[in-house]
Amino acid sequence: MPCYDEAATVVEMANRVLASPYTAQLVIVDDGSTDGTAELLELLDDDRVQVVRQPLNLGKGAALRRGFLLASAEFVIVQDADLEYDPRDYAMILEPLLNGVADVVYGSRFQSGRPRRVLYFWHSVGNRLLTLVSNMFTDLNLTDMETCYKAFRREVLQSLELRENRFGIEPEITAKVAAGGWRIWEVGISYSGRTYAEGKKINWRDGVAALGIIVKYGLQTRRNQIVKIRR
């Protein structure tokens, strides 16, 4: 669970995660919060919880990379610290992993059939555009590349060499999972989006940055494939 200035929600979210029968370990990476998040995390009293502090704010990607190194359970899922994604969906997300048919599962907010809060139109257009461009490079038919709910077999996750520090981690993971030829599944999830007034921080600049990263890793993957074919 990456978290940056989420004092309003982080304890509630941690408790929801710990209430899931699937949770064997909860690694929380505090990404240099200055709003009291770190102090609240000290109050969590459960043997499954491991809290790590990055002294400076480095971004979601850096927080995830730190957390992934500490993951020790068979399957790993990313859980944001706000209340947008619901741990009661773990059962559905884990199903293809537990059945042994998937290496990676994405929870989709757009192919859902599950309750979702109706919010920003342009935000969802941005998300769909980023997914479309990512799919054009990876030749995957994902419906929600930017989703927080990405679950992995731990060995697969830890074999990815990830470099991005900020929100570019989502397209980077997607490009590298695609390049690795791993079996990817998607399941519909519920989504309770928050408003900017409620603490949402992502904005159009992150979208533009993500587009640059999709192209960067997309071209790299293409080049590697061409080099392999030439050899």
Ligand X SMILES: Nc1nc2c(ncn2[C@@H]2O[C@H](COP(=O)(O)OP(=O)(O)OP(=O)(O)O)[C@@H](O)[C@H]2O)c(=O)[nH]1
32 Rama class: left (phi>0) / alpha (psi -120 to 50) / beta: left
Nearest distance, CB of residue 8 and ligand X, angstroms:
11
**DSSP 3-state percent helix, strand, coil across the chain (nearest 5):** 45, 15, 40
Amino acid identity for residue 134 in this structure: S
Residue with smaller CB distance to ligand X, 3 or 177: 3
Work out which of 30, 84, 103, 170 binds Mg ion, going by CB under 5 A: 84
Residues 21-40 that bind ligand X (CB under 6 A): 31
Residue with smaller CB distance to ligand X, 60 or 150: 60
Residues 196-215 that bind ligand X (CB under 6 A): 200-202
Work out which of 84, 86, 103, 164 binds ligand X, going by CB under 6 A: 84
Work out which of 82, 86, 146, 170 binds Mg ion, going by CB under 5 A: 82
CA distances from 40 to 5, 29, 35 (A): 11, 13, 10
Work out which of 80, 89, 172, 186 binds Mg ion, going by CB under 5 A: 80
Stretch that binds Mg ion, among 40-48, 65-73, 80-88, 131-139 (CB under 5 A): 80-88
As a whole number of angstroms, the distance between CA 97 and CA 148 comes to: 17
Work out which of 38, 80, 93, 149 binds ligand X, going by CB under 6 A: 80
Work out which of 103, 146, 164, 186 binds ligand X, going by CB under 6 A: 146
The answer to whether 55 touches 31, Cβ cutoff 8 Å, is no
- Kindly state whether residue 17 participates in binding ligand X, applying the rule CB under 6 A: no
Work out which of 82, 86, 89, 103 binds ligand X, going by CB under 6 A: 82
Partners of residue 187 on adjacent β-strands: 107
For the chain, give the number of residues.
Answer: 231
**Residue 145 interacting partner from ligand X, Mg ion, none (CB closer than 5 to 8 Å by kind):** none
Angle at 96 between CA 92 and CA 101, to 5 degrees: 175
Alpha-carbon Rg for the chain, nearest whole angstrom, is 17
Q: Which residues of 68-105 are buried (b: 16+ CB within 10 A; e: fewer)?
A: beebeeebbbbbbbbbbbbbebbebbbebbeeeebbbb
**Residue 94 interacting partner from ligand X, Mg ion, none (CB closer than 5 to 8 Å by kind):** none
Q: Write out the residues near ligand X by the rule CB under 6 A.
A: 2-4, 6, 31, 57, 59-60, 63, 80-82, 84, 146, 148, 200-202
Q: Please report, as ranges, the residues that interact with Mg ion according to CB under 5 A.
A: 80, 82, 84
